[in-house]
């Protein structure tokens, strides 16, 4: 550890920086979420996130895989994933306002294969939309779609189950999960978790005077809030439909945003 600190100090000196003379911020810049991050309060006691309702637990990590979970601030539970692609899709699904519920690793669906044998398939996600439709997602890297036989599996399940399990079946590859949109979704999910009602109301008043498009950093500066809290409030407004990103931009200090109509409500 000491060697790391010495190395860090030498690199900083070469760059003309003195890490020991950096002043602390003049104001508290920490986020102040209305609810404890990761759980809900009950009689003043913090509760951890609820466990995942997945029908199976992800296998242990290997050198070539990615396992983990994401906290859904809406349901208060963990959503598990078994690959980086599943993780990225989970962020998009959890932040999609058209979706009201995300079920990770739903119960396996039984079907009859072409050779007459019975098999079972577990979809990666089953979501419920505001319209009541259910959509099942199978996540596969594009290079493995054909060799995995997932297209034929889904065709058989669709034919044999009708709408008993899902109204639509989708195969999701990296083409449907752009990195820029995933980055936006991660910002939005974090902002939901750390939402502060008073900060959002204050930013709403600032944004109400916006004409045309402005960079997010300008709204942050005009708000008078600490930068981290101001940025979080801006992302909340983007998520809730008060502000929208200009075409082709993604969440960040220099991103351009404009006011949505009708007027915002925090």
What pLDDT is stored for residue 27 in this prediction?
A: 59
Which residue, among 135, 140, 142, has the nearest Cα to 158 in the 3D structure?
135
What pLDDT is stored for residue 35 in this prediction?
A: 73
What pLDDT is stored for residue 249 in this prediction?
A: 87
Domain boundaries, the chain: 68-176, 195-259
C-alpha torsion 59→60→64→69, nearest 10: 80
As a whole number of angstroms, the distance between CA 28 and CA 47 comes to: 26
What pLDDT is stored for residue 89 in this prediction?
A: 98
C-beta of residue 119 within 8 angstroms of C-beta of residue 111? yes
Residue 183 exposure: Cα atoms within 13 Å on the Cβ side = 7
C-beta of residue 230 within 8 angstroms of C-beta of residue 199? yes
C-beta of residue 72 within 8 angstroms of C-beta of residue 91? no
CATH of 68-176, one of 3.40.1390.10, 3.40.1350.10, 2.60.40.420, 3.20.20.80: 3.40.1350.10
CATH of domain 195-259: 1.10.10.10
CA dist 77 to 27, 37, 48, 74, Å?
33, 12, 9, 8
What pLDDT is stored for residue 265 in this prediction?
A: 47
For 173, phi then psi, to 5°, come to: -115, 180
What does the pLDDT profile of the chain (266 residues) look like in tens digits? 567 677 777 777 776 666 666 555 555 667 777 776 666 565 666 777 888 888 887 766 666 668 889 988 888 889 999 999 999 999 999 999 999 999 999 999 999 999 999 999 999 999 999 999 999 999 999 999 999 999 999 999 999 999 899 999 999 999 999 999 999 999 999 999 999 999 999 999 999 998 899 999 999 999 999 999 999 999 999 999 999 999 888 999 889 999 986 544 44
DSSP secondary structure string, 9-31? HHHHHHTT--GGGPPPPSS----
Q: What is the pTM of this model?
A: 0.82
């Amino acid at each position: 550890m000491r060697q790391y600190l010495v190395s860090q100090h030498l690199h900083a000196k070469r760059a003309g920086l003195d890490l020991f003379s950096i002043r602390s911020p003049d104001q508290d810049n920490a986020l102040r979420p209305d609810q404890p991050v990761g759980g809900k309060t009950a009689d003043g006691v913090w509760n951890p996130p609820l466990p995942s309702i997945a029908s199976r637990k992800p296998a242990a990590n290997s050198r070539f895989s990615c396992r983990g979970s994401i906290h859904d601030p809406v349901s208060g539970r963990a959503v598990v994933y078994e690959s980086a692609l599943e993780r990225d899709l989970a962020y998009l699904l959890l932040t999609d306002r058209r979706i009201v519920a995300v079920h990770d690793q739903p119960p396996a669906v039984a079907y009859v294969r072409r050779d007459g044998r019975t098999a079972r398939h577990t979809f990666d996600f089953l979501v419920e939309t505001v319209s009541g439709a259910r959509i099942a997602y199978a996540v596969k890297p594009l290079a493995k779609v054909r060799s995995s036989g997932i297209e034929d599996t889904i065709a058989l399940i669709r034919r044999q189950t009708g709408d008993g399990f899902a109204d639509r079946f989708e195969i999701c590859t990296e083409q449907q999960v752009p990195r820029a949109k995933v980055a936006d979704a991660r910002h939005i999910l974090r902002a939901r978790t750390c939402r502060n009602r008073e900060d959002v109301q204050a930013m709403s008043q600032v944004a109400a005077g916006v004409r045309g498009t402005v960079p997010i950093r300008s709204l942050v500066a005009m708000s008078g809030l600490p930068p981290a809290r101001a940025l979080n409030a801006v992302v909340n407004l983007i998520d809730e439909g008060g502000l929208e990103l200009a075409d082709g931009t993604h969440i960040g200090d220099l991103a351009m945003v404009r006011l949505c109509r009708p007027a915002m409500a925090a």
